Chains A and B, each alone.
Chain A
Amino acid sequence: MATDYALLKKGGFMRQKQKNNFSLRLRVVGGNISAKQLAKIAEVAEKYGDGHVHLTSRQSVEIPFIKLDQIDEVKNALAEGDVEPGVCGPRVRTITACQGAAICPSGCIDTYALAKELDDRYFAKELPHKFKFGITGCRNNCLKSEENDVGIKGGIRVKPIPESCIKCGLCIKVCREGALVMEDEKIVLDTEKCNYCGRCVKSCPTDAYEQTQGYVVSFGGLFGNKINQGKEVVDFIDDHNTLLRVCDAAVEFFKNNANAGERFKFTIDRIGRDKFEEVIKEAIKNE
């Protein structure tokens, strides 16, 4: 029987230059792997590969030099360590994330929790072409959200609380957008200038800000043969369920409109940016 390479690729096995050798991509969510998983990966790489693994550019792990006739055995061995194969090809790929608010002092959102949620919702979903989600916790953008088909960046919308303010002026100093000024001994925020970075809140000695966690979402990013920075449709999405509706709408728009082998950016361009924006704005409205 002829080898079904498309099926193997779907299951994370990528054909190597070396005949009958495959590089096995593993399922990783948000860049986190447990020690137990790591130990099993090491064991499998020693036993079935050539003793090394490759870290991909999108936070996955690949075990090269897996032999075609040992694929099932390898899958079973990995399963003992809670490790699953990943995917390649035209479907939703690894959901990437920085460490986010659970670990990083700069984080504005819990990126890992969101990555797990999006992984449950979309991972390996069949689509006309590859589709990448990336989640970064804050404006520092360590995870480069705009290079993904859907990029999610954590942010904080703020409102000064004058009664708690000790007028130290630190927030004004740390704001890189010039969005804060002191007027009549009171902090005044220019919401037009604010980019939701949250630096004011993080520096404030007395937490004199009302805070709303939220998301800055970009669409149509890619960073391969063609390069495009994903663009936002709205400034800020301040609610988790709204974010999920927006993600659903973006994936559905791609599924319903894309030609085979066409990345999201080019679908948006071909169908019309205005039509796409309508779909996203409608998803935001429909509570």
Chain B
Amino acid sequence: MSELELDGIKIDEEVDITDVVCPVTFVKAKVALEELDDGQVLSVHLNDGEPVLNVPRSIKEEGHQILKLIDNGDGTYNLLVKKVEE
């Protein structure tokens, strides 16, 4: 378990989806979330443009809780998602 913290929020796991394109972006994030326990936090590293416009919405529609979107200022973002079990 990493000891990472972003903006005061403890991160349990990270996933980088900047190396894939839609629809694999969401799939990769979804698979990473499935690995977590209820209440754990995933940090999703994603690109500006289409990924940031669509992936957060899809994750919200899956019922997970989005805690924060951090703009890294380099054309990427970190989306912090708390896993919510069905």
Contacts and interface: CB of A to CB of B under 8 A. Distances in A.
A168 B68 contact: yes
A205 interface: yes
Interface residues of A, number: 12
A174 interface: yes
Interface in B42-84: 52-53, 56-57, 60-61, 65-69, 71
A203 B60 contact: yes
A205 B53 contact: no
Max chain A CB contacts within 10 Å: which of B53, B57, B65? B57
B57 A203 contact: yes
Given A203-B56, A205-B56, A170 B61 contact: no
Contacts of B56: 170, 203, 205
A202 interface: yes
Interface size class of B (residues with CB under 8 A): 10 to 19
Contact of A205 (B52, B66, B71): B66
B65 A174 contact: no
Contact of B52 (A166, A170, A202, A204): A170
Contact of B69 (A105, A170, A202): A170
Contacts of A204: 60
Contacts of A169: 69, 71
A240 interface: no
A203 B66 CA distance: 10
Contacts of A206: 66
Contacts of B67: 166, 205
B45 to A, nearest CB: 15
A168 B69 contact: yes
A273 interface: no
Contact of A173 (B53, B61, B65, B66): B53
A105 B62 CA distance: 11
A204 B61 CA distance: 11
Contacts of B65: 205
B66 A174 contact: no
A166 B53 CA distance: 17
B57 A202 contact: yes
Nearest to A174: B53
Given A173-B52, A173-B53, A203-B56, A168 B61 contact: no
Contacts of A174: 53, 57
Interface string A118-157: 0000000000000000000000000000000000000000
Nearest to A106: B57
A105 B60 CA distance: 11
A31 to B, nearest CB: 23
Contacts of B61: 105
B53 A168 contact: no
A203 B58 CA distance: 8
A283 to B, nearest CB: 36
A233 B68 CA distance: 40
A174 to B, nearest CB: 5
Nearest to A166: B68
Q: Most A CB atoms within 10 A — which of B66, B67, B71? A: B66
Interface of B: 52-53, 56-57, 60-61, 65-69, 71
